[in-house]
Amino acid sequence: MQADLSPFDALVLMSFGGPEQEEDVLPFLQNVTAGRGIPDERLKEVGEHYYQFGGRSPINEQNRSLLEALSRELETRGITTPLLWGNRNWKPFLADAVRSEHQRSGARKFLAIDTSAYSSYSSCRQYREDFAAAQTQLLTEGIHVDFEKIRQYYNHPGFAQAQLSCVREALEQYRAATGSLDPDDYRVLYVTHSIPSTMQENSERHTNGYRAQHEELIDWLSTELEPAYGRVESELVYCSRSGSPHTPWLEPDINDRMKELSEKGVGGVVVVPIGFVSDHMEVKYDLDTEAAQTAKDLQMDFVRAATVGIHPEFVAGLIDLAVERAEQVRQAAEEIKKPVVTGTSLSSGSGACSRNCCEGSRLVPTQPNWPAPSR
């Protein structure tokens, strides 16, 4: 692959965002839930998770670290494309970051690296809607920009190998703490963010689906672990369920499953946050606080694996994905047909999402000319 990112003028790290201090918590949650009619009193209750950590989400600091690691990787490869950072729900907002870069360098074509590896409305399509909203906002200011994004990377070698390293380290921590890795006495619980069942069904219409993507990676990890660890009993569980209790979400919840395992005589768990790339609030509260307390109450051994964070293979993989997408865009511009590889483990895809991929409860445009805006 050509070691540059043309025709893109800039890279943008795109993430969820999080509050930095207590006074940020309520307006941050208002941004997250905009349009849903949730009263502020309920949001303040939800905000207690953040207040327990001084009102500061760890996600922004983790994104700063990732930004630095990506910058070093670009420098190592001799790629001089500017790298910036924009969020969905808190400062620095995407539109503000893009406007600033456009004013500084004239950049118009942006390639986004998002911090979610899997396909679903909230983890993929909603970011594309964010790009469209930023484009529309900037168009009103006379600034015309375009966005592309890297593909979902649950099956990219950089992400997979980094996950494998995290699991191996956690298994060794468990062995050191308990003196054993008897497969009958512990379970590996791979944890991801639960989503509504309808969102899971929508993700299956144009991809192999949110749940299946996690399971594909888990199967690969199990195969890789077997030579050193033998049979590793593992399963996929969920955390961070929210919303109406009458709306079905993906299950089982990690805490419920730990109780069931304890009743069956399982003595401990190795918890792997496979659905999260860094130790943000769902990891620090839902796993390190709630699930760890559940384990303590059940007298179960508990080890939580690291997230991929700024693991070198993960960081290098993200830049590989950016280079991959740039090459595909160049080839499309030259009308060169390239076979698309899909559905195989740890292989590349086309990089492009279909227009209706991972729909939400309503269809929102993911590009500003759909329908064409008045200018």
Q: Which of 59-63, 122-126, 202-206 has the highest mean pLDDT?
A: 59-63
Q: Are 145 and 98 in contact, with CB atoms under 8 Å apart?
A: yes
pLDDT category of residue 324 using cuts at 50, 70 and 90: very high
Q: Is residue 3, in this structure, part of any structural domain at all?
A: no
Q: What domain range includes position 110?
A: 10-153+311-333
User: CA-CA-CA-CA torsion for 348, 167, 316, 347, nearest 10 degrees?
Assistant: -10
Q: Is residue 286, in this structure, part of any structural domain at all?
A: yes
Share of the chain above pLDDT 90, in %: 75
pLDDT of residue 59 exceeding 70: yes
Each residue's pLDDT tens digit, 234-285: 999 999 998 778 899 999 999 999 999 999 999 999 999 999 999 999 999 9
Q: Are 216 and 209 in contact, with CB atoms under 8 Å apart?
A: no
Q: Are 127 and 54 in contact, with CB atoms under 8 Å apart?
A: no
Q: Do residues 53 and 175 share a domain?
A: no
Is 282 one of the annotated binding-site residues?
yes
Number of domains present in the structure of the chain = 2
Each residue's pLDDT tens digit, 210-230: 999 999 999 999 999 999 999
The reported pLDDT for the residue numbered 243 is: 74
Mean pLDDT across the chain, nearest whole number?
89
Q: Do residues 141 and 17 share a domain?
A: yes
Is 141 one of the annotated binding-site residues?
no
pLDDT category of residue 16 using cuts at 50, 70 and 90: very high
pLDDT of residue 340 exceeding 80: no
Q: Do residues 146 and 220 share a domain?
A: no
pLDDT category of residue 330 using cuts at 50, 70 and 90: very high
pLDDT category of residue 363 using cuts at 50, 70 and 90: low
Angle at 140 between CA 136 and CA 144, to 5 degrees: 65
Q: Do residues 291 and 167 share a domain?
A: yes
Q: Do residues 220 and 199 share a domain?
A: yes
Going by C-alpha positions, the residue among 146, 298, 126, 115 that lies closest to residue 202 is 126
pLDDT category of residue 344 using cuts at 50, 70 and 90: very low
- What's the mean pLDDT in 76-100? 96
Q: Is residue 201, in this structure, part of any structural domain at all?
A: yes
- Global pTM exceeds 0.95: no
Give the whole-angstrom CA distance, residue 363 versus residue 8.
28
Tokens representing 81?
């494309």
The reported pLDDT for the residue numbered 246 is: 85
Tokens representing 345?
């483990």
Q: Are 132 and 367 in contact, with CB atoms under 8 Å apart?
A: yes
- What's the mean pLDDT in 133-147? 96
- What's the mean pLDDT in 163-173? 98
pLDDT category of residue 348 using cuts at 50, 70 and 90: very low
Q: Is residue 338, in this structure, part of any structural domain at all?
A: no
Q: Do residues 193 and 236 share a domain?
A: yes
Q: Is residue 45, in this structure, part of any structural domain at all?
A: yes
Q: Do residues 297 and 320 share a domain?
A: no
Q: Are 88 and 127 in contact, with CB atoms under 8 Å apart?
A: yes
Q: Which of 151-155, 241-245, 353-357 has the highest mean pLDDT?
A: 151-155
Q: Do residues 36 and 167 share a domain?
A: no
Cα distances from 180 to residues 81, 185, 258, 298, 353, in angstroms, run: 49, 9, 19, 19, 45
Q: Is residue 237, in this structure, part of any structural domain at all?
A: yes
Q: Do residues 93 and 165 share a domain?
A: no
Q: Is residue 276, in this structure, part of any structural domain at all?
A: yes
pLDDT of residue 373 exceeding 60: no
Of 12-16, 177-181, 205-209, 264-268, the least confident: 205-209
Q: Do residues 224 and 97 share a domain?
A: no
Q: Do residues 231 and 142 share a domain?
A: no
Give the whole-angstrom CA distance, residue 211 versus residue 215.
6
Q: Are 270 and 171 in contact, with CB atoms under 8 Å apart?
A: yes
Q: Do residues 47 and 138 share a domain?
A: yes
Is 193 one of the annotated binding-site residues?
yes
Going by C-alpha positions, the residue among 279, 127, 131 that lies closest to residue 191 is 279
Q: Is residue 366, in this structure, part of any structural domain at all?
A: no
Place of tokens 């997230």: 307
pLDDT of residue 372 exceeding 60: no
CATH of the domain at 219: 3.40.50.1400
Q: Are 366 and 206 in contact, with CB atoms under 8 Å apart?
A: no
Is 154 one of the annotated binding-site residues?
no
